[in-house]
Structure 1
Amino acid sequence: MDSFSLDIRTLNFIIILFSCIYSIGLLCYQRSQKEIPGLQLFALSLLFIGIGPFFLGMRGTTPDWFSIVLANTIIMFGFQLVLHSLCIFRNCSLRYTYFTYTCIPITLSLFYYFTHVSPSIKARIIVISVFLAITTLLSAFTTLKGRHKDLKIAIWMMSTSFFLYGSFMTLRVAWTLYSEELHNFMYAELIHQLTFLFSIILVVAISFSMLWMINARLVNSIYDLSRRDPLTQLYNRYALERKLPDLINEINKVHPLSIIMVDIDNFKSINDLHGHLTGDEVIKRIAQIITAHTRNTDSAYRFGGDEILITLPKTDINLARAIAESLRKKISAYTLIEGNNLPMTSSFGVASLSEGEDWEHLVSRADQALYQAKQMGRNTVVTCSENPTLSAIYHASHHQHKAYEEAL
């Protein structure tokens, strides 16, 4: 390995430069954007990873406790903060950081011992390599196991970078164990020189991966905003027109699909008598009730104006009617306080997908049932049978309502 050599001082300077640039850049980015959990701590960790080698480069001009003990402690603490920040950023349990935090005082004591009591460069290399191997391998695991839905390719790039670095540190430990004692670290073997090169690659790779994941989150956020109604936070008509056809195509003959069309009763009168702000509050309140009292598999969309459409996968017409009746009761039990009690009621049209039917006809039949509910006095649930000309008022029976409650 001596046939090829790298300049450790130059590589050390590059680590300092890259770490500090990425750290400052990410800190400035954090200040200019909505706060991203874990990003500021990640930026600070890069700063520590850069400061450590800076102090390390002062070997020979400063006391050993400063250029060896403190410098390596700062580097270890920087890698520890990387792990901690990724647990926050990727929404992973912090218990993975507890063990490595307890290792820092132990490694600090070992560094002091092998610097001032029984000096040994070889022992110090083994101590820091073991710590870095543990923290980077845990960082790789945390990146993969995080619960936040980030861009997969960026996740794999970051976790792979940590895994390769941790594997190299493990190899470095094994190599050092069977090597002779070093007398001058700046002229160490190639494997120790490669540590600086791989550290540069790691800093660049994880910083780029972090920016990649943040950018993907922003893109997803913009896309989600395009599919959300800003008033109710329900999905909008744009999202419905893209989701419902796919849902119908995916539905199996064994699994029925039903929809509910909801319309607020006397909504125009509410706007005329109490103002549009009150009308907005009514829509928001009803949207909240629907969201709170539907299943996780159901989806609610603001269809237009005061109409809301609810999709019910794997739900037959009987259970769909029970759900609609339950929602009707929940809504009519609320009043919006605006000087006086303002009663809120809604009408419901229910339809179930027929074999070979497209989504336009399904929505049309639910809309027809809703229209009949309005004609029959409002605050009513009406179902539309497979024959578009036939409809029936639903009077919820006890066992159907119980079936719905169990489904929730």
Structure 2
Amino acid sequence: MEDFSLDMRTLNFIMILFSVIYCIGLLLFQIAQKPIEGLTLFSFSIFLIGSGPFLLSFRGIIPDYLSIVSSNMLIVLGFHLTLYSLSIFRGYSTRFSQLSSILLLVVLACFIYFTYYDPSIRIRIVTISLFLAFVTLSTAFVTIKGKNEDLPLAVRMMALPFVAYSVFMAVRAVLAINEAEIADFMQAKLVHQLTFLFSIVLIVAMSFSMLWLINARLLRANEHLLHQDPLTKLQNRRALNDTIWHFQHKAQYAPVSIIMSDVDNFKSINDQYGHLVGDDVIQIVANTTQHKLSDSAAAFRLGGDEIMILIPSCTLIEAEVWANQLRQTLSGVTLATQPELQLTVSFGIALLSPTKNWQESVEKADKALYQSKRNGRNTVSIVA
């Protein structure tokens, strides 16, 4: 195995090439899309990770402060920014990044000392390896523990190469401690040569995973828009069709109430005040309704001024009390642009059947709503 050797300068060239390509690609993606927190720093970190080895390959040609100190500091700074950017991207505390910032100064001091005052390639390898082992393991941790909702498989795929790289760096540090002083880094043992190969793999893996995570976020956002009414931000009919089974399943164990509501004399409001005011009325009703909902309940805009509400573990009597509270709240609402407008809303209530066609249950709630209209509006009716 010792006879096997890698061309480190070639690996360095490949690394900077990959770094530039992925950095530019991610930055262009950031420009073309809605800005994503942490992505710009993440792109720049990839470039730095590739730039360090590139300078390192000119050792003996350019001054030591560039080929040794600056090159290695670019590498550790790149990994530090990767940790910081992923902490932001995944919504995790930056405390690991703060500790990494302190360690950066320690690494810089070690490299200056062991380059100019007590030259030792071996100690420099141990220093940077231990730092990278800590930072990459921390990066894997914040990636897994981040609070932002991301595709779980993509999150694990992002974290895995960092864990593997951390283990490799820890092993490299142990081996370097126990080996003799290294005369020429470019002719060092295979384990040190493999560092560049593994770094290339890490750059490719984390760039691919980042694109996967971003794409999953965009797909989820598009899916959310497909299920959201653009005016009220309530869920729409598509969302109702996709989630009604969930409420029917709950109805097998506890009552689920359906509440239908619409604004009284809404056509007259549109005719008298205009459709923009009509939209304002719908938004106020939707916002007030959403504000009063529990976490387990859901509201759907079915069209026009009609809103359907599903409340799990709620009897007809409890639903009537809730609807009356909402009705009274809405009766006291006024529009800033049309303070003279008296807003009232009617409600109809029924129970969701756990076995029958759910549309039959909705028809019962509609029937109750029509009964409220016949009873003079601004009332709550029940059809059992």
Q: Report the TM-score, using the length of structure 2 for normalisation.
A: 0.97
Q: Give the C-alpha shift of residue 64 in structure 1.
A: 1.3
Report if the CA contact (8 A) 2:48-2:75 is conserved.
Answer: yes
Moved more, 223-232 or 330-339: 330-339
Deviation, 1:272, is: 0.1
Which amino acid letter does the alignment assign opposite residue 295 of structure 1?
A: S
What's the offset of the Cα at 1:357?
3.2
Q: Distance in 2 between matches of 1:18 and 1:330?
A: 60
Over 3 Å counting, the alpha-carbon distance change for 1:355 and 1:13 in structure 2 is closer
Determine if the alignment matches structure 1 residue 299 to structure 2 residue 292.
Answer: no
Alignment of 1:4-403 (within 5 A): 4-248=4-248, 250-251=249-250, 253-354=252-353, 356-385=355-384
SS in structure 2 of the partner of residue 301 of structure 1: strand
Instruction: Give the distance between the partners of 2:378 and 2:331, measured in 1 at CA.
Output: 8
Give distance in 1, aligned partners of 2:97 and 2:73. Answer: 16
Instruction: Quote the Cα distance in structure 2 between the aligned partners of 1:62 and 1:278.
Output: 71
* Structure 2 letter corresponding to 1:371: Y
- Runs (4+) of structure 1 moved beyond 4 Å? none
Partners of 1:347 and 1:252 in 2: how far apart?
25
Distance in 2 (CA, whole Å) between partners of 1:255 and 1:140 is: 43
Question: For residues 366-398 of structure 1, what are the alpha-carbon distances to aligned partners after superposition, in whole Å with 9 as ceiling and x for unaligned?
Answer: 11111111111111111221xxxxxxxxxxxxx
Q: After the TM superposition, which of the residue ranges 338-347 and 100-109 deviates more from structure 2? A: 338-347
Letter in 2 for 1:344: L
Give per-residue Cα distances to partners, 1:299-332, cap 9 Å, x unaligned: 1100121100111122222222222112112211
Q: Distance in 2 between matches of 1:347 and 1:279?
A: 16
Q: How many angstroms apart in 2 are the aligned matches of 1:339 and 1:18? A: 61
Whether the 8 Å CA contact 2:8–2:57 is kept in 1: the answer is no
Partner AA of 1:365 in structure 2? K
Shift of 1:3: 2.6
Segments of 5+ residues of structure 1 without an aligned counterpart are 386-408
- Give the Cα–Cα distance (whole angstroms) in 2 for the partners of residues 283 and 272 of structure 1: 15
Q: CA deviation at 1:168?
A: 0.6
The percent of aligned pairs where both chains have the same amino acid is 48
Distance in 2, Cα, partners of 1:302 & 1:324: 16
Specify the alignment match of 1:392 in structure 2.
none
- Structure 1 window deviating more from structure 2 (319-328 vs 273-282): it is 319-328
Deviates more, 1:264-273 or 1:48-57: 48-57
Shift of the alpha carbon at 1:354? 4.2
Q: Structure 1 residues 121-130 or 317-326, which shifts more? A: 317-326
Kindly indicate whether the alpha-carbon contact (under 8 Å) linking 2:251 and 2:352 is maintained by their aligned counterparts in 1: no
Is contact 2:251-2:354 (8 Å) kept? no
Q: Secondary structure at the match of 2:341?
A: strand
The total of aligned residue pairs comes to: 384
SS at 1:350 equivalent: strand
2:15 matches 1:3: no
Counterpart residue type for residue 156 of structure 1 = R
Name the SS of the counterpart of 2:373 in structure 1. helix
* Change beyond 3 A, Cα 1:294–1:348: same
